Chains A and B, each alone.
Chain A
Amino acid sequence: MSIQSWEPAAPTTTLDRPPARERRSVVKPGRFKQYEPVVIGTLSVVIALAAWQIVANARIYSILFVPGPWDVAQAFVKLFQTGDIWLDIGTSGAEIGIGYGMAVVAGLALGLLMGWYTRFQYALDPFVNFFYSTPRIVLIPLFILWFGIEMQPKIAVIFLGALFPIIINTMAGVRNTEAALLRVARSFGAPDALIFRRVVLPGSVPFILTGFRLGVGHALTGVVVGELIAAKHGVGQLIAIAGQTFQTPKMLAGVILIAGTGMLLTTIIQRVENRFQSWRPQIR
């Protein structure tokens, strides 16, 4: 019968297979592969420190210009031998905690509102754009004028520093909700509140956390620069005074304190992010 010839042989029909979705194979990593990031990371830091120490030991430049890592470590230990450092850390910590905390709350709220309600975005966009394209630290003199040289002007500049990256990224997260998912939700008659909570918000988490992470950088810049300009206590103030009095190792010890804080906060955010991303197959 001619019927047989109508149906092409099975294998040829698979040719019109559409581009397959990329599937990442999750092969169990080998023993070394597993520790590779830590091992390589540690090694490169050790090498960099060693190189730095060698250059410093050569003493081509005086300790004032190029202190070695050992000098900085000693200065770091010395910092903690007097009680004063805790007042500085406490002051800076409180400024960051309050300023950044307020930025997270306000930035999240404003970003979600601006992403969800277009009109709200239209209304606030000019201000967000203005402040985002202005380095907020230039406002410090004004804040000092308004609030004095206690913690308030630093809190204000930290708040403004961290606020806008959080707003902008949160807004982008809401805006980038996949249209297909929204269509599915609408098709099943989901009320707006449910769409927001179950579709938009979970989908925005990576964006929001990126905003938080960028905010950390801005907050730290704010606290250091704020205290450089005028302060009674604080790690930024410590760095400023050590710098002006040519105590370079001490100054760098302060810098390490700030950098450590930044790395700690970023790591915490990274951990949170990983928790939320457990559904994503490993890329490696």
Chain B
Amino acid sequence: MYDRSAKLAAKGVVIEYWLQRSRSLFTAVKGVDLEVRPGELLAIVGPSGCGKTTFLNAVDGLIPIAGGSLTLDGREIRSPGRDRAMVFQQPGLLPWRTVLGNVIFGVEAQGSMTKTQAIARARQQIELVGLKGFEDAYPLELSGGMQQRVNLARALLTDPEMLLLDEPFAALDAQTREMMQLELLKIWSQTRKTALFITHDIKEAIYLADRVIVFTRRPGRVKNVVDIKLSRPRDLRVKRDPQFLTYEDEIWESIQEELAVPAERLIAGVPAA
């Protein structure tokens, strides 16, 4: 039904890394099939090293795919574009630029706004992510959570059609993470941008997403898809809803299966990577 109208469509996506040292190809992602509908917030969870970041980088156009097809609005993704913006796991801020300077860096790189326009919009964006008053602070003077807000604001300022988020809150403490989740949902419900959100945190995935996709262990594939039918707007109390816990169990078990070390490999003394 949503087939034709999918925002992002991945069909049998294979991604390989060339390992210079062993002079061999390493398959990180093997046959990912998924679709992101317009305006949907889709979360991907999976065991560490299963290729989530790799897949997201391919969606951003930073790395090429070795097989299958990856299309955004029906067009093959070949390079980064203005229709996508990434919120990185590490904030990746220019240490010599202030908050304001970092927030405008995205649009500056794209060349999509004049500088005065960018600065005016950036001030609004900074307010939206709750950093008002810190416009002239340098990244090293900010807390980890504040740095991630800058990272988020930089992506939002480019006004992308699709937001790509790679464990943006993973490095934050539990309280700050929940606060950021709330704020992300607030911003997302205002803009209704299509979003692909990667996380380790099952609760986070369920809390934020319309659907949660579980990846298999490396090489990553889609293992199962869980429709999250929790009503919106969601506040943090939804995390104790029985339905929420059912989802959590289901996803948790799905990941456990992937983490389980096959018996024969245990005997051979080779831990699963």
When each residue 86-126 of chain B gets 1 if its CB lies under 8 Å from chain A and 0 otherwise, what string results?
Answer: 10101010111100000001101111000000000000000
- The answer on a CB contact under 8 Å between B141 and A188 is no
| A10 lies within 8 A of B80 (CB) | no
Whether B140 contacts A281 by the Cβ 8 Å rule is yes
B175 and A14 contact, CB distance less than 8 A: yes
Interface check A133, CB cutoff 8 A: no
* Chain B residues positioned under 8 Å from A4 (CB to CB): 240
Against A, the Cβ 8 Å flags (1 = close, 0 = not) of B177-197 are 000000000000000000000
Tell me if B109 and A183 are in contact (CB < 8 A).
no
Using known A-B contacts A3-B240, A21-B144, A186-B80, determine if residue A198 contacts B105 with beta carbons closer than 8 Å.
yes
Are B62 and A183 touching (Cβ within 8 A)? Answer: yes
Among A263-282, those with CB < 8 Å from B are: 276, 279-281
A187 within 8 A of B: yes
Closest to A194 in B: B109
Q: Which residue of B lies closest to A24 (CB)?
A: B140
A187 contact from B60, B140, B240, Cβ within 8 A: B60
> B95: which A residues are within 8 A, CB to CB?
279-280
Q: For the complex, give the distance between the alpha carbons of A17 and B118 in Å.
A: 35
A6 & B245 in contact (Cβ 8 Å cutoff) = yes
User: Which of A185, A188, A203, A280 has the most chain B CB within a 10 Å cutoff?
Assistant: A188
Task: Answer yes or no: B158 CB below 8 A from chain A CBs.
Answer: yes
Q: Is B171 an interface residue (CB 8 A)?
A: yes
The closest CB in chain A to the CB of B147 belongs to A21
Nearest B residue (CB) for A12: B174
User: What distance in Å separates the Cβ of B27 from its nearest Cβ neighbour in chain A?
Assistant: 22
Cβ-defined contact, A189 with B110, below 8 A:
yes
Q: Which of A6, A181, A194 makes the CB contact (< 8 A) with B92?
A: A181
List CB contacts (< 8 Å) of A1-20 with chain B.
3-4, 6-7, 10, 13-14, 16-18, 20
Query: A180 an interface residue at 8 Å Cβ cutoff?
Result: yes
Q: Are B240 and A280 in contact (CB under 8 A)?
A: no
Does A94 sit at the interface, judged by CB under 8 A?
no
Q: How far is the CB of B31 from chain A (nearest CB, A)?
A: 25
The reply to whether A189 and B81 form a contact with Cβ atoms under 8 Å apart is yes
A188–B151 Cα distance when bound, in Å, is: 12
In angstroms, Cα B79 to Cα A187, docked, is 9
- What residue in chain B is nearest A202 (Cβ atoms)? B96
Instruction: Name the interface size band of chain B.
Output: 35 or more
A105 at the interface (CB under 8 A from B): no
Inter-subunit contact B240/A7 (CB<8 Å)? yes
On whether the beta carbons of B144 and A279 are closer than 8 Å, the reply is no
If A180-B88, A183-B92, A279-B95 touch, whether A188 touches B173 (CB-CB below 8 Å) is no
B105 touches A14 (CB 8 A): no
State how many angstroms separate the Cβ of A279 from the closest Cβ of chain B.
4
Q: Which residues of A contact B94 (CB under 8 A)?
A: 181, 198-199, 202
Per-position 1/0 for B239-254, Cβ under 8 A of A? 1101001000000000
Q: Is the CB of A17 within 8 A of B158?
A: no
In this assembly, does B138 line the interface, its C-beta being within 8 Å of a C-beta of chain A?
yes
Q: Find residues 122-155 in chain B having any chain A CB closer than 8 Å to their own CB.
A: 138-141, 143-144
Interface check B211, CB cutoff 8 A: no
Question: Does A256 make an interface contact (CB < 8 A)?
Answer: no
Interface flag for A184 (CB, 8 Å): yes
A188-B106, A189-B82 known; A279+B138 contact, CB < 8 A: yes
Cβ A190 vs Cβ B96 within 8 A: no
- State the CA gap A276–B138 with chains docked (Å): 13
Chain A residues in the interface with B (C-beta under 8 A): 3-4, 6-7, 10, 13-14, 16-18, 20-21, 23, 178, 180-181, 183-191, 194, 198-199, 202-203, 276, 279-281
Q: Please list 5 pairs of residues, one from A and one from B, whose beta carbons are closer than 8 Å in the complex, sorted by A's number.
A: A6-B240, A180-B92, A183-B92, A198-B109, A279-B96
Which B residues lie at the A interface, using CB under 8 A?
Answer: 60, 62, 79-82, 85-86, 88, 90, 92, 94-97, 105-106, 108-111, 138-141, 143-144, 158, 170-171, 173-175, 239-240, 242, 245
| Interchain residue pairs A-B with the least CB separation, the first 9 | A190-B109, A188-B109, A13-B174, A184-B92, A279-B138, A180-B92, A17-B173, A188-B106, A189-B80
